[in-house]
Structure 1
Amino acid sequence: MSQSNNASVQSQEQLKINLGKELGFGASFVCEAVGHIHSRGLWIGDDPLSFSVPLLLLQLSLISIFTRSIYIFLKPFGQPSIVSQILGGVILGPSVLGYNLNFAEKVFPSKGRTTLETLSVFGFILFLFLIGVKTDPTVVLRSGKRSLAIGISAFCIPYALAALIRLVICNRLALNENTCMVLALVVKLQSLTAFPVIATFLAELKILNSEIGRLASSSSMICDLCFWVTMTLTYAADIAIAKSLKTSIGSFFSVVLHFSIIVFGIRPAALWLVRHTPEGKPVKEIYTFVVLIALMGCVFLGEVVGIDALISSFLVGLAIPDGPPLGAALVERLDCFVSVLLTPIFFTLCGLKTNVFTIQKWRNVGIIQLVVCVGFFGKLIGTMLPPLFCRMPFRDVLSLGLIMNSRGIVELILLNDWRTDNVLNDECFAIMIISVVVVTGVISPLVKSLYDPSRRFLAYKRRTIQHHPRNQELRILACIHSQENVQTIITLLDASNPSKEDPIALFVLHLIKLAGRASSLLIAHVERDKPSQNPTQSERIFNAFKKFEHENQGQVAVHCYKGISPRTTMHNDVCSLALEHRISFIIMPFHRQCINGKMVESFHVYRHLNKNVLDQAPCSVGILVDRGNPRNSPFWLAEASFYRVCVLFLGGADDREALAYAQRMLKHPRVLVSLLHFKSSKLGTEAIEIVGGTARSKMLDAEILGKYRFNAQLNERAAYTEEEVADRKDVLAVIESMDNAYDLVMVGKRHGDSQLMTDLSKWNEDRELGLVGEVIAARDSKLGASVLVVQQQTRVWGLRDPEVNKTEMYRNIIQNQELQYAK
């Protein structure tokens, strides 16, 4: 092998000498060994960086190390990943490390950069394909008037203002033709708000399914459509003017043929693949293979007829149905490889091409930045005017305007294309890249500080079961993860005494993880005209609740919703629906469920979801722990037996809410309610405090207990028992003694600080269900009953403490003001 390599090198040297003699001038030529991509090692005398494989590996390693290190450093300042990736390229490029010519020639030589750019373009083909797969084009048709107005004004106003200032500058300052052409491109860029950029930005800020997130997604899609329609018409007009009629007609029909193949070929085939993939089953490998072959074929055909590969890949992605099963499978299999390895290469290459030392004319910097600023404020105004007219809060409107000004991947693609076509020189390219980094870097922390999705969940009145008016509809929101949650929740609702005098409006929300989609969704379920033989999981869940509604006709009204969002922000859907429909009580399934008699831990994300709902809900919340009780059947009411409910009452607002719910259940003729009231076993100075609390809280406890005891004397299905306890062991003994005597145990989540509560906290470190709730729902507990841990509404506008009576608070304020005036 060594002899053959030496012979190959000698032949190349001879070829170089012969070429030099034949051409007759002192030009230098670089010849490479064809097929030799691996280094034999330093000991053999090879330079590893002269071979493509080790050079590529070194480049990828440096890119990953620098971009990740910068991201870790900038993350506390709220910077998105695109900023760190571009800055990593700038550091590796001619502005910093690449300023050393030896480093630039060794690590990023021309031959090595070509390989890197080819890899980045291939990565971007896959990236835009995935963006297309995640995008639901029907959102444009479903967009409301507000989104339509925002999208159009966010395109037109910055375009008009930036174009006007460009016209004034070009005429007043007598700029040359090249500079005016650059400014025209800047005007176009400032009018753009790309949907892929906005979707990525919202996902990083974790506000994709917030009110502003949904509005920004739909508005950016409208604005993006306006931009590309304008660009397409401009391009078609340029072709018609610059080329012959034959070329224009050929180009037009080639584009039509390309679109026809995607719309009438790939789209029906993708729908066929979806229909032949059973729900819950993985997509076959052959289906994924066929889709990727179709992608490569269409991209190649697009390049043949003159359509950019990136545009072709995005259009093919749009033809693939978003979400499960096919869209989600493609995203799951390709997303990590593309977003972690390939996409950062492109951003880094943008930084590598940026040379700050090419910026020589500060006049050009000022002119370009003036147009950028005018476009920025024009988009801010264009975005803010429609929602302000609709009386949205100013902070939310300002946040929306900043989000719509975000810059990212699409803008960088355009800048690179214009640089490749020599429309942008190195100086203008560097100025625009710096502008993208600065704008994106400033917007991200500003939006984080301005917009808090949970702020809108602050209710203006009490929405609890305890304060719910009599003979009025009780609104309950039941959240469902899977079919396993349905039976226990229906049993609880059946025991809640729905009647014509006290009806229940039930809102069912099926929470679905966002997969294979770029935008979240919260929509009302629309039933099919004809029942399907293969219903989806959502349809099976909703059908069970519709059956429950039919069995309680005139007493229960069921409204079904589907929420598709990331797990980390799923609580926004729950709280938004609760606020919009004035819900009084939310039922959330616990993340541990009973399977085959054992408590099994579910996903950690469910714990995170429950915690956020408890913190931000605009009403009372109940966490339902399903312990696999065989009595939890939707048909138990037809049996000659009673549903046994036990309420543990220690004291506090949450215990009062649990007792109020139990009192509603007591109206049902087949429900038994037992109240266990914990009291100190000692009297006088030796008496222990069960729970801490204010004097008003204890007065409210006594009031609701007095009413229940009075009703218990008149109702044989109500029982009241005082349990005297002295320490933690006594409390645990009472809970263990319940054994299987009940079907449902209810308790409040929060209890005031006391020595007893401190002792209980040592028994279990978990606080998700409260101190007492965790004891009852413990994995090793022998209690067979389901458990409902209740938290009363914690957030009411104008009240720091929800236990305070609003009327009394205002009366005290008025009295204090009168005393001040009297003095």
Structure 2
Amino acid sequence: MRYLFPPEGRVTLQIFANLGFMLHFFILGVQLNANLLKKVGTNAALIGSLAFAMPYVIGGLSYLTMRSLMPMDQTLRTGLVVVVTANSLSSFPVIISLLSELNILNSELGHLAIYTSMVSDLCCVCMATTLTTVGAFREHSKWNSLSSMFWMVFFFVVVLFVLRPFILWLTKKTPEGQQLEEFHFFVILVLVFGCAFCSQYLGRQSAFGPLLLGIVLPEGPPIATTVVKKLDTITNGLFIPVFFAISGLTTDLMAFRGRRALAITELVIIMGYVGKFVGTLLPALYFGVPFRDATSLALIMCCKGITDVAIYNAWRDGKIMDDLCFGLLLITMLIVTGIARIMVGRLYDPSRRYTAYGRRTILNSSNNSRLRILVCIQNEEHVPSLINLLEASNPTRFNPITVFVLQLSELTGHAVASLVPHYHLKKVTSQATSSEHIVNAFNRYEQRQQGSALVQHFNAIAPYSSMHDDVCSLALDKSTTIVILPYHKQWTIFGSVGATNRSIKYVNGKIMNKAPCSVGFLIDRGQLRGNPSVVIGKTFYRIALLFFGGVDDLEALAYGRRMAEHPNISFTLVRFKHEKVPTKKGEVNPEHELLREYTIRAAMSKEKNQYREETVKDGSETTQIIRSMEDGFDLVIVGCHHDPESPLLLGLMNADWVECPELGVIGDILAATDFTFSVLVVQQQPPTSTCSRSVQSRVFPASFDDEGDCPPPHSTNPISSDESKRCPV
């Protein structure tokens, strides 16, 4: 080890470690929102307070018991007191990093853990400040203590009322969506190091100043996003590992030999972790948190990280803690945190609650019920086609719709994920933002509908790895019937693929697997035809539905039925049949009944609605017919999944040919670049129960006397779906 890390080289490593430590806390601070404390509820406050106090109680009792049973020298007694204090820590930055790694940052448990750790950390800061002040008055003169407090307050004032306004003035002319100029970024970096020097000079940790400067600056773009992009990789990829390496190199394992104090110290450490676990678990259970979630929360609060290691290092360097306590605290931290992380990953699954609710599909909805649609948007380019789709949904006074517009943004420049109504977001610039453009477009759509459509706006800021949880949570809370997702590819006006977002593809796949309702993928090619409008077009807006059979096609047909009644839409239902599979007379089949009803309706409105049957023998002929429809429609609807043994798809099920399996075989063909119409691929929510006789009555109830044996499913969502109620985040 001496040859691998010579003593003269450790100085350089220590410099890199301290640099990474300062930058890490500045990056964290600039992503934090100082208003988070306002969102802390009573439950989180009490859980956090007990999570801070119980390690003191149980650890302190263990220390007093051991001291009464066996003699201890002064060094061991002092070390055990420090160990009891160390076990009470629950670092807020560490908890956020852990939640992000576990992909539960924006889950219900994640939000509770964030607020709980924030309260616990605040208790630690208050106690540390009190003890430091009292100790300073005892060890030094009152004048020196008051002078130290004055300069610390003065430092706060300078950071808040001088540096913050200066940085905001420096960066206020940065265009929306752009990063800071290099010179502006360099100035901020100099101020960070200046704050680190001042805090060190005033007797605080060098990271205290950068953390304070980061907290007073606004989160999000342009400052936070620029800082994260330029510093996060090198800090977390190089400097922070060096920091941990230095801490490990300075750990003296030889101090563990022949020490009777080792068992005593380790026992007090373990009892402190027990206090942390019990102090979190019991109040969480008292407030009604499920046992698995409460256990996961308790395990999360037991985890430690870079902040704790930095505190241990400071205490050891200040001779407050000896090498034995330092080494045992580090090793126990590694073991407990490693085990807790694995157990939380096994115990907590945020998608578990989505599977406990009844079916929410268009097919299973009553004919006169309000259609509730959740529309997800990443950028402005999707807006025209999405509004066209909503127009085509034919909202009327008797069949109204409610639209929940969810704008999805990647968690960049923010430490905590959020899902909030749009009006909760503060406007960061005086210019109209892209988000405001989207809101205005949908608001104008709502005004045109004159009461037949209601629009609510939400914003989700989350990492791509867990963004689907926000979508599914909102769909569940608002009792939506279908979620409309934009496709991860965008087309240029020349018909070629202009951009591909693999992260959005990942999010879409997760939503498709876990959504508590039906899902629709919208492949937007409206710009290739000048975005024809359903409302103001001089001709019919042409929609075709390709029907191959199966529950997804039935869901698509249920949605298409609403569209077919729109006065400005020409709707064509194309049914594909195999030439060797004739329909048996007297056969009762929901698909046949639905199709028969549509043919009756199409015959009554020959001018705008049509029904066609195409007889094919294999997938090759199916593809030829689909390609012959290229110039005849503006939008094509198709179900996602079909019977893999169907002769209609023979030869098309080769996995090597399918580029986007989440769209299904036909959807993948329609997503090819040589088509110019938009495509809506519909997937019905996976069934939780079977009810076949009520299928046709729920789609065309007016034409059947038999209403079916199964009653319409009722929502079991305990959260009210009243239109005036907003997302409970």
TM-score, normalised by the number of residues in structure 1: 0.80
Q: Which of 565, 573, 593 does residue 703 from structure 1 map onto?
A: 593
Structure 1 residues 608 and 174: CA distance shift in structure 2, 3 A: same
Deviations 1:634-673 (A, max 9, x none): 8541343222111000000100000000001122221221
CA distance in 1, matches of 2:252, 2:428: 63
Correspondence list, 1:199-348, <5 A? 199-348=96-245
Structure 1 residues 254 and 315: CA distance shift in structure 2, 3 A: same
State the AA in 2 paired with 1:727: D
Question: Does residue 635 of structure 2 align to residue 744 of structure 1?
Answer: yes
The corresponding residue for 1:732 is: 623
Q: Aligned-pair distance for 1:480? A: 0.4
The corresponding residue for 1:151 is: 48
Structure 1 residues 417 and 758: CA distance shift in structure 2, 3 A: farther
Q: Aligned-pair distance for 1:140? A: 1.2
Structure 1 residues 622 and 348: CA distance shift in structure 2, 3 A: same
Question: Does residue 609 of structure 2 align to residue 718 of structure 1?
Answer: yes
Whether the 8 Å CA contact 1:647–1:747 is kept in 2: the answer is yes
CA distance in 2, matches of 1:804, 1:412: 64
Structure 1 residues 575 and 281: CA distance shift in structure 2, 3 A: same
Structure 1 residues 683 and 217: CA distance shift in structure 2, 3 A: closer
Q: Aligned-pair distance for 1:384? A: 2.6
Whether the 8 Å CA contact 1:794–1:802 is kept in 2: the answer is no
Correspondence list, 1:443-592, <5 A? 443-526=340-423, 533-592=430-489
Relative to structure 2, which stretch is displaced further, 609-618 or 136-145? Answer: 136-145
CA distance in 2, matches of 1:344, 1:804: 62
State the AA in 2 paired with 1:232: T
Whether the 8 Å CA contact 1:595–1:628 is kept in 2: the answer is no
State the AA in 2 paired with 1:707: E
CA distance in 2, matches of 1:327, 1:667: 50
CA distance in 2, matches of 1:375, 1:632: 67
Name the Cα RMSD after superposition.
2.5
Whether the 8 Å CA contact 2:533–2:541 is kept in 1: the answer is no
Deviations 1:462-511 (A, max 9, x none): 10111112322211110000000111101100110112211111111111
Correspondence list, 1:366-445, <5 A? 366-445=263-342
Question: Does residue 579 of structure 2 align to residue 681 of structure 1?
Answer: yes
The corresponding residue for 2:250 is: 353
Structure 1 residues 322 and 713: CA distance shift in structure 2, 3 A: same
Whether the 8 Å CA contact 1:749–1:789 is kept in 2: the answer is yes
The corresponding residue for 1:663 is: 561
| Equivalenced residues, count | 693
Question: Does residue 9 of structure 2 align to residue 112 of structure 1?
Answer: yes
Structure 1 residues 276 and 529: CA distance shift in structure 2, 3 A: closer
Q: Aligned-pair distance for 1:625? A: 0.2
Deviations 1:375-408 (A, max 9, x none): 2232223323344234332212211111111111
CA distance in 2, matches of 1:802, 1:261: 69
Correspondence list, 1:38-53, <5 A? none
Structure showing greater Rg = 1
Structure 1 residues 725 and 275: CA distance shift in structure 2, 3 A: same
Q: Aligned-pair distance for 1:164? A: 2.6
Structure 1 residues 333 and 531: CA distance shift in structure 2, 3 A: closer
Whether the 8 Å CA contact 2:578–2:648 is kept in 1: the answer is no
Correspondence list, 1:759-778, <5 A? 759-762=651-654, 764-766=657-659, 767-778=661-672
CA distance in 1, matches of 2:112, 2:502: 29
Whether the 8 Å CA contact 1:764–1:771 is kept in 2: the answer is no
Whether the 8 Å CA contact 1:193–1:404 is kept in 2: the answer is yes
Relative to structure 2, which stretch is displaced further, 386-395 or 199-208? Answer: 386-395
Q: Which of 649, 660, 668 does residue 757 from structure 1 map onto?
A: 649
Whether the 8 Å CA contact 1:487–1:634 is kept in 2: the answer is no
Q: Aligned-pair distance for 1:303? A: 2.3
Whether the 8 Å CA contact 1:650–1:677 is kept in 2: the answer is yes
Q: Which runs of 5+ in 2 are unaligned?
A: 696-707, 712-729
Structure 1 residues 527 and 412: CA distance shift in structure 2, 3 A: closer
The corresponding residue for 2:684 is: 792
State the AA in 2 paired with 1:113: R
The corresponding residue for 1:643 is: 541
Relative to structure 2, which stretch is displaced further, 660-669 or 759-768? Answer: 759-768
State the AA in 2 paired with 1:598: G
CA distance in 1, matches of 2:692, 2:384: 34
Whether the 8 Å CA contact 1:415–1:429 is kept in 2: the answer is yes
The corresponding residue for 1:132 is: 29
SS of 1:184 mapped into structure 2: helix
CA distance in 2, matches of 1:330, 1:243: 40
CA distance in 2, matches of 1:267, 1:382: 38
Structure 1 residues 662 and 809: CA distance shift in structure 2, 3 A: closer
SS of 1:327 mapped into structure 2: helix
User: Percent of pairs identical after alignment?
Assistant: 37
SS of 1:637 mapped into structure 2: coil
The corresponding residue for 1:87 is: none
Q: Aligned-pair distance for 1:312? A: 1.4
TM-score, normalised by the number of residues in structure 2: 0.90
Q: Aligned-pair distance for 1:187? A: 1.7
State the AA in 2 paired with 1:715: S
CA distance in 2, matches of 1:626, 1:521: 28
Whether the 8 Å CA contact 1:266–1:319 is kept in 2: the answer is no
SS of 1:206 mapped into structure 2: coil
CA distance in 1, matches of 2:25, 2:428: 37
CA distance in 2, matches of 1:284, 1:159: 48
Whether the 8 Å CA contact 2:616–2:648 is kept in 1: the answer is no
